[in-house]
Structure 1
Amino acid sequence: MFRKKDILLIFLLAVVAGGVLLLMPLLRKGAMPQAGPAAGEASLYLRYSIGGETVATLPLTEEKDLQIDQGDGVINILHLSPTGFFMLSSTCHNQLCVYQGEVTADNMDSRPLMNMVVCAPHRVVAELLPAGEVGGESP
């Protein structure tokens, strides 16, 4: 079976891996300071894609619902607000995307899927992006 040295090595590797996972959000936040948005611009954006293809990148400036209708009854509804978004409803069979909760600038580094909500059956990925990460994409 396992010797004491094998068990110790496995334990140490698990501790190091856990430490790296805990430090990732801190390293990501402090990596590159970015200027805040100019007056009138959104500080957060929603980018959503279907099947790996980006459909749109939208500024989060007001509270509203966004319906993503792929036809044939495949529908996801995202609730958007200036502070983030969540999957309000979906016609998928398992509803895991609905239970993933809200993504905000305050919690996106501590969520299991970080800044994303994923509906695997419908191949929809929604991401929360700070203004500095939007780059040259057209909102």
Structure 2
Amino acid sequence: MAVYQIVEVGAEVLREQAKEIPEVNKTIEKLLDNLAETMYAAGNGIGLAAPQIGVSKRAIVVDVGEGLIELVNPVVVESSGVSVETEGCLSIPGVNGDVVRPAQVRVKGLDRKGEPVDITTDGLLARALQHEIDHLEGILFIDKAKKIYRSK
């Protein structure tokens, strides 16, 4: 495993639609390992998408304190409700914003073994999953924020 430099706003890869992963193999397992290690090494992140380490592939990791979730080709298939919360991003250091998102989501994808995963959740996990899936579409939280401010 390796800790990668996190790509910051302004890098082209953050604005691209990430490529679908045709099969989960050793290379993708290593990508998931590297994403997790990089996220944990950053110290204050709860999620990381492959484009954030310069890799235009549809893979994310999330850990909101309930254990690591690794998803390949994740998609939001259902959503409901409305929630407004403050978000930040490892790729946009020193900036926070108030973002409106669905309060509950159902996300489908594949795990590191290529097996189907189906997650229905709300709260912080729902927000983190949506934030990271947005990265796969080239969307940053600042694109959706109703209010943006610099953190101290």
Which bin holds the TM-score, normalised by the shorter protein? under 0.3
TM-score (norm 2): 0.22
Greater relative contact order (CA < 8 Å, ≥ 6 in sequence): 2
Structure (1 or 2) with the greater helix fraction: 2
**Bigger Cα Rg:** 1
TM-score (norm 1): 0.24
